[in-house]
Chains A and B, each alone.
Chain A
Amino acid sequence: MSNNNPNNASGKDPHLLLQSAPLLHQKLTTPAAMKDVWIALLPASCASFWFFGISAVLILLTSIAGAILTEWIFTPTEKRRFALSDTSAGLTGLLLGLTLPAGIPLWMAFLGGMVSIGLGKVIWGGLGSNIFNPALLGRAFLLGTFPIAMTTWVSAGDLSDFFQLHSSNLALPFMQGQLDAMSEATPLGLMKFEQQVTSFGSLFIGNTAGSIGETSGFLIILGGIYLFLRNAINWRIPVAILTTAALFSLILLLVDNQQYPSPLFTLFSGGLLLGTFFMATDPVTSPLTPKGCWIFGIGIGFLVVLIRVYGGLPEGVLYAILLMNAATPLIDRYTQPRIFGRDKQNLKNNNKADK
């Protein structure tokens, strides 16, 4: 794989760019698309700094550092400049960091960044070859590995000033962090285990306990709208996820309004918004066809509510997206558009497909 470019192999600067088709020149390059996502994540990142202080800054920096370092180590020397210039590794690190709790030891955030890139991307063959969303894979690994540290939440806005650092952040590598603040249940945890509903206002603004970048519904939607206006994401996926989740929880609410939360709570609690706009829409791990996008989104929306309501864990976005990632090749295969002039028998079915 490393020797398919004879110009690079000689170690000289390539004047002749060798590429496989398609060779159309487009304004939308990988680095440009990544830049849009960085900008769209800015509001959510700022919210994390506001609510969780310097801890959030350090967590984001270490998970980004872990991701970039791993990408750097596992990229052949002659390809490094190119591979790192698209900033996708750093973006994976940022997305992972936003899904971590504020009190997590920094070494875990670093390890998460390494696993995201190492097991989530590099091992599959680099950008564009991975099956699962790397950031979510890193989070799944951390959740499975350190279940207690990953579910010990501190309440947002509890800090006296910005520079108050949680002592557990500074735990030595391989050692436990002792949380100094009172641990707090997330809105989803409160709902599941104590039947307490968090007010919509808090969920919308974000001053609740939770992952540092997931609490503020408003700012995440702002980023999502930016991505949509820049045409950087496939709008079908968020629409499908949010509609399905809302409808499913509405049905549950109609069945029993004591036990199940309202659709608005479902949409604005936990990682659903962040996952919907920034992780499920990852072009590498989501279907290519419009029809496939609808199936993919509906699947995620359905699974999220299913896991939240009937599963052992309060939150289900992570596993819902990963499960549908795994189903993506299959969805793509069965939603291929008809080749013109062939397969007349399938004509009827394909007429029904949306555009």
Chain B
Amino acid sequence: MMATDNIAYEEMIKGIWRDNPVFVQVLGMCPMLAVTNSAINAVVMGVATFFVLVGSSFLVSAFKQWIPKQVRISLYIIIIATFVTVVDYSLLAMLPAIHKELGAFIPLIVANCMILGRQEAFASKNTVKFAVMDAVGMSAGFMIALFSLGAVREILGVGALFGFDLFGPDFEPWVIMILPPGGFLTLGLLLLFFNWMTEKRKQFLIQLAEVDNETIKVKANG
């Protein structure tokens, strides 16, 4: 029992750091670049993706015995699209202002390759518990990435975070950060930072391995 708990926990953690859908797998770039011009948009997008991914991962792994291999992609899409429609209408009813900003990108969650990718690569092959853990981790990683991008862009582009003014009225906004080029620039710099961190961590682990050869094996195989 203890062992499976640990592995399930690992499945969740990997999405946040080691297999981060944005920084490592470089998936879901469309919403990543399009809706991150403010922190609140990014977080709402993250929550919407969280709901869709966890819901569809749960259903896919729960019904995997009844999903025929030949039509599995269509069925995944039906499941994902249903969740997306639910999110779309709920947002429209509850947060019409943010829905207006996110516009077409809420329906476009259907086409987020990260979600379909998790169904095909993980949920369809694992138990419900693992699939949900994996989905939670992946969408948390996605949300962290969205938030960091949105926060950087909003702080520099508007001088605020979640709408709260940070620098006072004399702040000179970095207009480019709100525009699409700012999304590309920030994402590129964040990827640079993430790779640099991973490299540092790897070097640290190699040093550790000289001390304890067993540790590295467990970490690397995950």
Report the nearest B residue to A175, measured CB to CB: B170
Cross-chain contact of A144 among B159, B172, B175, B192 (Cβ < 8 A): B175
Check B179 against A144 for contact (C-beta < 8 Å): yes
Give Cα A175 to B167, complex, Å.
8
Say whether B7 faces chain A, with CB atoms less than 8 Å apart.
no
Give Cα A147 to B170, complex, Å.
16
State how many angstroms separate the Cβ of B51 from the closest Cβ of chain A: 35
Say whether A146 faces chain B, with CB atoms less than 8 Å apart.
yes
Interface mask (B180-195 → A, CB under 8 Å = 1, otherwise 0): 0100010000001000
Check B174 against A145 for contact (C-beta < 8 Å): yes
Residues of B within 8 A of A174 (CB): 159, 167, 171-172
Check A176 against B172 for contact (C-beta < 8 Å): yes
List CB contacts (< 8 Å) of A119-150 with chain B: 119, 123, 141, 144-147, 149
Say whether B177 faces chain A, with CB atoms less than 8 Å apart.
yes
Give Cα A145 to B172, complex, Å.
9
Give Cα A155 to B71, complex, Å.
70
Report the nearest B residue to A123, measured CB to CB: B192
Report the nearest A residue to B167, measured CB to CB: A174
Check A144 against B170 for contact (C-beta < 8 Å): no
Give Cα A255 to B175, complex, Å.
38
Say whether B176 faces chain A, with CB atoms less than 8 Å apart.
yes
State how many angstroms separate the Cβ of B168 from the closest Cβ of chain A: 8
Check B172 against A149 for contact (C-beta < 8 Å): yes
State how many angstroms separate the Cβ of B139 from the closest Cβ of chain A: 31
Report the nearest B residue to A119, measured CB to CB: B185
Report the nearest A residue to B189, measured CB to CB: A119
Check A176 against B170 for contact (C-beta < 8 Å): yes
Check B175 against A146 for contact (C-beta < 8 Å): yes
Interface mask (A321-350 → B, CB under 8 Å = 1, otherwise 0): 000000000000000000000000000000
Residues of B within 8 A of A144 (CB): 175-176, 179, 181
Residues of A within 8 A of B179 (CB): 144
List CB contacts (< 8 Å) of A146-201 with chain B: 146-147, 149, 171, 174-177
Cross-chain contact of B175 among A147, A176, A177 (Cβ < 8 A): A147
Chain B interface residue number, banded: 10 to 19
State how many angstroms separate the Cβ of A74 from the closest Cβ of chain B: 11
Give Cα A108 to B159, complex, Å.
16
State how many angstroms separate the Cβ of B92 from the closest Cβ of chain A: 33
Give Cα A108 to B185, complex, Å.
18
Give Cα A123 to B193, complex, Å.
12
Residues of B within 8 A of A145 (CB): 174-177
Give Cα A72 to B177, complex, Å.
26
Residues of A within 8 A of B175 (CB): 144-147
Give Cα A175 to B159, complex, Å.
10
State how many angstroms separate the Cβ of B7 from the closest Cβ of chain A: 38
Give Cα A105 to B171, complex, Å.
12
Report the nearest A residue to B177, measured CB to CB: A145
Report the nearest B residue to A146, measured CB to CB: B172
State how many angstroms separate the Cβ of B31 from the closest Cβ of chain A: 23
Report the nearest A residue to B179, measured CB to CB: A144
From B159, B175, B177, B192, name the one whose CB has the most chain A CB atoms within 10 angstroms: B175
Residues of A within 8 A of B171 (CB): 174-176
Residues of A within 8 A of B167 (CB): 174-175
Report the nearest B residue to A107, measured CB to CB: B172
Report the nearest B residue to A178, measured CB to CB: B170
Give Cα A185 to B220, complex, Å.
62
From A105, A147, A176, A177, name the one whose CB has the most chain B CB atoms within 10 angstroms: A176
Interface mask (B119-134 → A, CB under 8 Å = 1, otherwise 0): 0000000000000000
State how many angstroms separate the Cβ of B200 from the closest Cβ of chain A: 15
Residues of B within 8 A of A149 (CB): 172
Residues of B within 8 A of A141 (CB): 176
List CB contacts (< 8 Å) of B139-198 with chain A: 159, 167, 170-172, 174-177, 179, 181, 185, 192
State how many angstroms separate the Cβ of B196 from the closest Cβ of chain A: 12
Report the nearest A residue to B169, measured CB to CB: A176
State how many angstroms separate the Cβ of B190 from the closest Cβ of chain A: 14
Give Cα A149 to B192, complex, Å.
29
Give Cα A63 to B1, complex, Å.
62
Give Cα A176 to B174, complex, Å.
11
From B174, B177, B179, name the one whose CB has the most chain A CB atoms within 10 angstroms: B174
Give Cα A174 to B173, complex, Å.
8
Give Cα A145 to B173, complex, Å.
8
Residues of A within 8 A of B192 (CB): 123
Give Cα A177 to B176, complex, Å.
18
Given A145-B174, A176-B172, 17 more A-B residue pairs with CB atoms under 8 Å apart are A105-B172, A123-B192, A144-B175, A144-B179, A144-B181, A145-B176, A146-B174, A146-B175, A149-B172, A171-B172, A174-B171, A174-B172, A175-B167, A175-B170, A175-B171, A175-B172, A176-B170
Identify 28 residue pairs between A and B in the complex whose beta-carbon atoms are under 8 Å apart, listed by A's number.
Answer: A105-B172, A108-B172, A119-B185, A123-B192, A144-B175, A144-B176, A144-B179, A144-B181, A145-B174, A145-B175, A145-B176, A146-B172, A146-B174, A146-B175, A147-B175, A149-B172, A171-B172, A174-B159, A174-B167, A174-B171, A174-B172, A175-B170, A175-B171, A175-B172, A176-B170, A176-B171, A176-B172, A177-B172
Q: Pick the 10 closest A-B CB pairs, nearest first.
A: A144-B176, A145-B176, A176-B172, A175-B170, A145-B174, A176-B170, A147-B175, A145-B175, A174-B167, A174-B171
